[in-house]
Structure 1
Amino acid sequence: MPTTNFSDHSSRRHFIRRLTALSLSPWLPGCESWFAQRIAIAAHAWPGYEFLFLARREKWLDNSLVDLIETTSATESLNALLDGKVDGAALTLDEVLTARASGLPLTVVLVFNISAGADMLLARPYIAKLADLKGQRIGFEQGAVGSLLLHKALDASGLSMAEITAVPLTIDAHFQAWQQQQVDALVTYEPVASRLLREGAIKLFDSRKIPDTIFDVLAFRTDRLGFSRAPAIRHLVLAHLKALEHLTKNPQDAAYRMAPRFKLSPAQVLSTYKGLVIPDRSNNQRLLLGSSPILLNSARKLSAFMYESGKLAHENDLTGLIDASYL
């Protein structure tokens, strides 16, 4: 019969301690701890996602369970999902619907935030109102929330996409494009938006005009959900909620710790959250649970709008969109 060789009694005791710690870990309940599989998550810079990075910095996020990968944009995160390089990603709900329509089944397990002003259309001072966007160069991220907000802003102005010059730009290129005079207006979001407002940009439209439309969520490839990854997913959700609680209870300290990644002062960091509704665990349950979850109803309306505006070839089959069991 094969046996395990231990070099000394010390190594045996260390091995037993590790097994005991795993079995008692609050992050890995029950026998799941024995089969926990590491997960990879993609996320780009956005205030609603920043709690993941704060949790990693403060070691509330176990790197042996979660590989948190920073991307430059939602487009890069989606590509990583499509290529199978990551198991899940931080995305907007419309990005999830777009991916599902293209044949990549995704399931939402957590709502990071609801945008209530943090996504916005900014313009140069010579553009005083939405109607003045006619003929202007407008930068936005294609296939992302930028495209959605631009369509809504143009609807409000009575303009069509054919009456503007669309300039596709991922979020990492927004600030430079503005500085280099490549665009007259820009659909963008925090923390870039605060930097552009300090540069003299004027806000023409924001997500307060389209309430309960822009949700940021944690979505997983549906084929990567299951028993072996469940402990890591639950751990990730708990780490996010712990970091959110830290911001709620100690906002100045949390902002100080977040400031370097935002490239903003702590006071400016806190101001970026004014346009966001960030649900805690109980509010996540309110959004994701029930016979007719709030998020599912919002997704149904959003899917219809995206289909009518030509962003989807067909309305989304929302079966399997939500799994609240990781909360």
Structure 2
Amino acid sequence: MMGNSCHENEKSLPLHIGINDWVGYQIIRYAQQSQLLKKRQISLDLIYFSNLQDATRAMLNGALDATFTTLWDLMQPSPYHERVKPMILWIVDISHGSDGIVARPPVQSLADLKGKKVGVKFGTINQLILLEAIALNHLSARDLIWINLVDDVAVDHITQGAIDATVIWQPRLGEVAHRIGGKIIYTTAQTRSLVIDLIATRQSLFAEKQDRFRRLFWVWLDIINVLEKSPDTLFSVLGQTLQRSPQSMATDYQGLTPGDQRLNREILGSPTAIASAIEKITELMNTSYYNHKKLYTDLGYDAHFINSSLDLWTPLP
């Protein structure tokens, strides 16, 4: 009896999940403001991080049960990989216009950036966005002068004219373009982007908490269902929670392909799609003249978990 009681107590504990302020992740907060968590018999504690690399490290070292992150961030080399294998639970979204490159006049296109200074923080998702843009436009990483800057500093530099372009995301992408009288010369809507947001855990923890992760995945699908059927309801609740305009949040989300049933089955329901994405990111990194390093590619994922969870999920009434 005591063993069963301990097991039930463990199940009642919240899952500790890392998160930042990205709108694609923030929609999970709808579950906290509705009855979704209670109905799915799961509790959740969201731990805020200012950047995803810190959140990913915290997950790997055992401080979190799981974290929102990107495929790129999960592939960054870490000393924890000697004893911990990261595992992808499900796909949250894929960037389709939310991320891009803004440039000062007279730059009008990627081709105009040859020999120009571009602000990008090495090792972050912005590096991948720049590599995607370069590849799409048949340029070389050596054609540009890469300036290693964190996002806020890069915005200051482009505003002051110290750099010619920078990689950033919405809504700041549009705000900066307007402020400097510049142009958005690339967005992830121009390619099948590898900027893939996901939620990840440690493989060793997956077996132990698989049922709870499944319930949380169902909560995620419930939220996507609300997004598809009643987006005004979703963004109204989020706007009140986050003290933001519902309209602005909805606009920011428009640049994302949601991690719905179709996308998760397509990418994680068979081993080929996610393996292909990992391979393509590795190939892009191999073209990087700046900050070139060997990425970690031994990521875990479970097609059976995805497919069976999707098969068992039914929308809540």
TM over 0.5: yes
Q: Where does residue 208 of structure 1 map in the other structure? A: 189
> What TM-score, normalized by structure 2, do the two folds share?
0.78
Counterpart-to-counterpart distance in 1, 2:156 and 2:219: 33
SS at match of 1:42: strand
Structure 1 residues 306 and 159: alpha-carbon distance in aligned structure 2, compared to 1, 3 A threshold:
closer
Partner of 1:304: 283
Amino acid at match of 2:294: A
**Displacement of 1:217 after TM fit?**
0.8
The residue type equivalent to 2:247 in the other structure is A
Unmatched runs of 5 consecutive residues or more in structure 2:
310-317
Q: Does 1:76 align with 2:54?
A: yes
Per-residue deviation, 1:180:
6.1
- Alignment partner of 1:86 is 2:67: no
1:220 aligns with 2:204: no
Deviation at 1:108, TM superposition (A): 0.6
What is the alpha-carbon root mean square deviation over aligned residues?
Answer: 3.4
- Give the TM-score of the pair, scaled to structure 1: 0.76
- Aligned partner of 2:21 among 16, 26, 45: 45
Are residues 1:258 and 2:238 paired? yes
Identity of counterpart residues, as a percentage?
Answer: 22
Corresponding residue number in structure 1 for 2:216: 236
**SS of equivalent residue, structure 1 residue 126:** coil
Whole-Å separation in 1 of the counterparts to 2:305 and 2:8 = 17
Contact 1:96 1:106 in 2 (8 A): yes
Could you say which residue in structure 2 is the equivalent of 1:66?
44
CA contact (8 A) 1:255 1:270 kept: yes
> 5+ residue gaps in structure 1?
5-21, 24-30
Change (3 A) 1:126 1:302: same
- Equivalent pair of 1:131/1:159 in contact (CA under 8 Å): no
**Any idea what the Cα deviations from partners look like across 1:195-241, whole Å, max 9, x if unmatched?**
334434421112133304221111112232222x2233223222222
The 10-residue stretch of structure 1 (176-185 or 132-141) with the greater mean CA deviation from structure 2: 176-185
Across the two proteins, how many residue pairs are aligned to each other? Answer: 296
CA contact (8 A) 2:132 2:193 kept: no
Could you tell me how far apart the structure 2 residues matched to 1:64 and 1:261 are?
Answer: 20
CA contact (8 A) 1:115 1:275 kept: yes
Of 292, 295, 301, the residue aligned with 2:274 is 295
Match of 1:316 in 2: 297
